[in-house]
Amino acid sequence: MPQSERRSFTFENVHLAPDEQIGLHQQSTWELSYVIVGSGMRLIGDMTEPFLGGEVVMIPPEIPHCWYFEDDDTDEQGRIANITVTFDNDFLDRCSGTFPELCGHIDKLKKKYDAVKFDKEKSEAIIDLLEEMCNQSEAEKVASMIKLILIMADSGSEHVVGKYQRIDKETKRMNQIQTYVICNAKRNITLDDVARYVGMNRASFCIFFKKATGKTFVTYLNEYRIGLACQLLRQKRMTVSEICYNVGFNNVPYFNRTFKRHKGVSPCEYKQGGKADANEKKNTGIIGKSP
């Protein structure tokens, strides 16, 4: 690699459409991610939870992760924005070898095995550095990177948002299905689409899914969409018809029937404060652990 292209770490300040964000992936590097503009659902390791703009997350190597951004939370150009810094253990080792004063801090950092979200004070300190780095030369970024390491290595002021787990083939496939649904629930999804996504034919996929979950994929998908609808109904900002199409249904009467079958009340009654069934929190459609 030419000297001009050599990098000890990567720094990326990206602005792109919500659906252009990279899907579920894992890597051998550490990742520090700051969401500038956007919100949605975040999948890291064994956990799935909502995220908002302004959050800063650190992910150790080999933990699968992705961010699903909502289409309606963007800047004026319809884009989300984030800053991502990645670095590997070789970089940390070189820093330790060059600067003995950093050894203790780097050892503490390398003992962090879970993905964490930093609290407000720590996030603000990291954000200040990341914003400075946007206008720095490559050489100047090195000094800021060392400051970031010191902040990330500091104990406390963070909570776990994902753990690494060695998973079997079936669990991995179910996680792929979960990710596909979260990222595409508001669009038209066919059995052929999701089966192709996980490398199966339609018949084999239906048998696999029913055996793994005890329900059909259509039932699972509808449960997830109804869970999204409940969130929007509680906000009371949209009509029932608008919510119907927003969560992926293309027929209002069918949406009303499906909602009542799952929740025991109609969407209108739910919106007005009607009592939903006791399993509402369980019927979010998420496979595996809840946040």
Distance CA 285, CA 211 (A): 16
Q: Is 276 found in the same domain as 179?
A: yes
User: pLDDT tens, 104-159?
Assistant: 999 999 999 999 999 999 999 999 999 999 999 999 999 999 999 999 998 778 99
Of 162, 193, 209, the domain-final residue:
162
In Å, how far are 1, 14, 61, 68 from 159, measured between CA atoms?
39, 26, 17, 20
Q: What is the pTM of this model?
A: 0.66
How many domains are there within the chain? Answer: 2
Predicted confidence at residue 234, as pLDDT, reads 87
Asked whether residue 291 is domain-assigned, the answer is no
Predicted confidence at residue 22, as pLDDT, reads 82
Of 121, 146, 162, the domain-final residue:
162
Predicted confidence at residue 39, as pLDDT, reads 93
Distance CA 80, CA 255 (A): 30
- First-last CA distance in the chain: 43
Q: Is 126 found in the same domain as 24?
A: yes
H helix runs in the chain, sequence order: 89-98, 103-110, 120-133, 138-153, 169-184, 191-197, 202-213, 217-235, 240-246, 252-263, 267-271
Q: Is 154 found in the same domain as 176?
A: no
Q: Is 175 found in the same domain as 132?
A: no
Predicted confidence at residue 4, as pLDDT, reads 39
H helix runs in 43-168, sequence order: 89-98, 103-110, 120-133, 138-153
Do 4 and 65 meet the contact criterion of CB atoms below 8 Å apart?
no
What is the phi/psi pair of residue 163, to 5°? Answer: -120, 150
Predicted confidence at residue 179, as pLDDT, reads 83
Of 130, 162, 194, the domain-final residue:
162
Instruction: Identify the domain containing residue 219 by its residue range.
Output: 169-282
Instruction: Please list the pLDDT of the chain residue by residue as tens digits (291 residues).
Output: 443 356 889 999 999 998 888 877 888 999 999 999 999 889 898 888 889 999 999 999 989 888 989 888 999 999 999 999 999 999 999 999 999 999 999 999 999 999 999 999 999 999 999 999 999 999 999 999 999 999 999 877 899 999 877 667 888 888 889 888 988 888 889 999 999 988 899 999 999 999 999 999 999 999 999 999 998 998 878 899 999 999 999 999 999 999 999 999 999 999 887 555 444 444 444 444 333
Tokens standing for 228? 């999204």
Beta bridge partners of 32: 58, 85
Distance CA 49, CA 39 (A): 11
Distance CA 229, CA 51 (A): 18
